[in-house]
Structure 1
Amino acid sequence: MLFETIAWAQSTSSSGQPQGLFDQVLTNPIVPIVLIFGVMYFLFIRPQSKKASDHQKMLAALKRNDEVVTTGGLIGRIAELSDKLVTLEIAPNVRVRVERNQIAAISSYGRMPRREKGEQS
């Protein structure tokens, strides 16, 4: 009787195991982890790197008299450009130097009134 019980337990446990390679891959605990990292890459990392690439292209295309917004919220017109610094005119005769990386976007809030060359405030 005891032998029959042990034999029956062994036969049921061995038939419950996955038999093929495909079944073994699906039951491997590393597969869900890899899938989660793959989904996270496509949902978070890839869009962020694309956004950073677009920002670098925008910074490279800046030119004088572009109206921009800084990350601090200042809106001004570019008066001077260098490799690392940008001088913004935020009001007549008020200029602020900021790092080029701190330019967030080209402004879409409307244009500042442009001063004429001989005009003084």
Structure 2
Amino acid sequence: MTSQLLFTLAQAAAAGDAPPAWMQFLPLVAMVGVFWFLILRPQMKRQKELQNKIGGIKKGDQVLTGGGFLAKVLKVDEHYVDLELGPNVKVKALKSTIADVVPPLGSSAAND
């Protein structure tokens, strides 16, 4: 009986040295935090900047479409944009298919 009691006490003492259960989840929480700040947050910032650019499109701007065409904006509606791809080549495109607003040709690049 004494050996059984000592065995039970030894198990209880060993279990008391174990870290709390919430400490096992700490690495997962840290990985989610790193994922958020290194991947998701910058992507959301870039997407917000693009939405602001697309929302500010006006007649005369040069845009890059999702298909890779450079075009001049002729008219802007709520959902559509009339574009001129070349002389006498006009198309209507969804605003959501515009990939970027290209700065005017007269401006220099930031690294020049």
Superposed pair shares fold, TM > 0.5: yes
Structure 1 residue ranges (4+ consecutive) displaced by more than 6 angstroms after TM superposition: none
CA–CA distance in 1 between the matches of 2:104 and 2:75? 21
Tell whether the 8 Å contact from 1:64 to 1:79 is kept in structure 2 after alignment: yes
Tell me the SS of whatever aligns to 1:72.
coil
Which stretches in structure 2 are left out of the alignment for 5+ residues?
A: 107-112
Give the aligned partner of residue 37 of structure 1.
32
In structure 2, the residue matched to 1:93 is 88
Count of residue pairs the alignment pairs up: 105
**1:68 equivalenced with 2:52 (yes/no):** no
Q: Which moved more, 1:45-54 or 1:75-84?
A: 45-54
Cα distance between partner residues in 2 of 1:89 and 1:75: 9
**Contact 2:64-2:99 at 8 Å conserved across structures:** yes
Q: Which residue in the other structure is 2:109 paired with?
A: none
Of the two, which has the highest radius of gyration?
Answer: 1
String of CA shifts for 1:81-107, please: whole Å, max 9, x gaps. Answer: 101001110101100111001111122
Identity in percent: 25
Contact persistence 2:54–2:101 (CA under 8 A): no
Higher RCO structure, 1 or 2 (CA under 8 Å, sep 6+)? 2
**SS state of the match for residue 51, structure 2?**
helix
* Separation of aligned partners in 2, 1:76 and 1:110: 13
